Structure 1
């Protein structure tokens, strides 16, 4: 075991000093912050993607179709109610005529 410890300590003494450019830190920091700025710009425009535009278009068209069908159904319902009222004498003109005749 002592032999292994001695070899490990000897290996540490053989490590040479790494020579680094004096501007290495500055260059690295500039690259990191440039990537961060680009990432923030791309996040701001993600809502404008074609997939989101297509999804919005589908939702708007679906809502319009649903609203149009509701309007059509309500007008059909109103026509049916008016026809029923006229058939059984519940319409406004029949009621007014009945009141005036009595």
Structure 2
């Protein structure tokens, strides 16, 4: 049986995302956590992991992201996003 992959928000794991700029394939907006940027394509197990992590650490994630936004002027590149996701799932 082939497992389907789903596009989700990398912050909260929600499928409630919208492609906001058709000219820029990587600009998506999450209607659940207000994330804007590239999304990820994952299987159901990873989606559940991200959703559980968001549920348990929402305030920490939002505070860290706010501090990061204050420190960084640009959005994460796809490679930087992949690195952060790899670190998240290695823990």
Give TM-score, length-normalised by structure 2.
0.21
Pick 1 or 2: higher relative contact order, CA cutoff 8 A, min separation 6: 2
Larger strand proportion, structure 1 or 2?
2
Give TM-score, length-normalised by structure 1.
0.19
Larger helix proportion, structure 1 or 2?
1
